[in-house]
Amino acid sequence: MEEVPLQHDSSGLALPFKVPRTPLTIRTTGLSADELSAVTVALVLLTQDPPGPDELTGAIAGLLLIVRRFRRLKAANGEVSVVDAIVRTRPRSTVDAVTLFLYGKACRNPNAACRFLAEDGTTCGITRDQAQGTVDFLISEAVLKPTGGVPPIEYAVVR
């Protein structure tokens, strides 16, 4: 993961939210100290060489506490590219900025059979409406959130 300093707020600890170069996002809003401890213990147990049955059982129990926070983005649906564009266009992460960031550029996931691939088969053909639809879907899945209520609406990855 990218190195990001821990931030403490009233809802718990906020950690990095996207595993770089992967389609994984981790929703960390409200991560409690107990959940953080469970993950830490799980990672330590998994690094035992080789992990025995007791270590694996403890690690699985710890990871089950936070498994609901993980979501695999689908490159074929443009989700990976849209989330990446939201992150890279900050602080002005609007649907227009996402569309301009992606449209006409080389496909970011050429082997994913993305539904937004242009007719040339090499560039992104996502339209503003398609980007808006993808953003709306990712909001419904608690991956993205609007960061303001006044147009143009900006978006961020849910932490």
Which are the contacts of 123, defined by CB distance < 8 A and separation ≥ 6? 104, 105, 106, 107, 117
Mean pLDDT of 114-129: 94
Can you point out the beta strands (E) in the chain? Answer: 7-9, 12-14, 24-26, 70-72, 144-146, 155-157
Given pLDDT bands bounded at 50, 70 and 90, which one contains residue 20? low
d(CA 131, CA 116): 10
Q: pLDDT averaged over the chain?
A: 78
> Do residues 131 and 102 make contact, with C-beta atoms less than 8 angstroms apart?
yes
**Per-residue model confidence as pLDDT tens digits over 25-40:** 666 666 677 777 777 7
CATH of domain 75-157: 1.10.10
Angle at which helix 33-46 crosses helix 53-64, to 10 degrees, equals: 150
pTM score:
0.62
d(CA 101, CA 109): 14
- The values of phi and psi at residue 24, to 5°, are -100, 135
Start and end residues for every CATH 1.10.10 domain found in the chain: 75-157
Q: Evaluate if residue 122 carries a pLDDT over 70.
A: yes
**Per-residue model confidence as pLDDT tens digits over 68-120:** 666 677 888 888 899 999 999 988 999 999 999 999 999 988 888 899 999 99
Q: Evaluate if residue 8 carries a pLDDT over 70.
A: no
Q: Taking the CA atoms of the chain, what radius of gyration do you get in angstroms?
A: 18
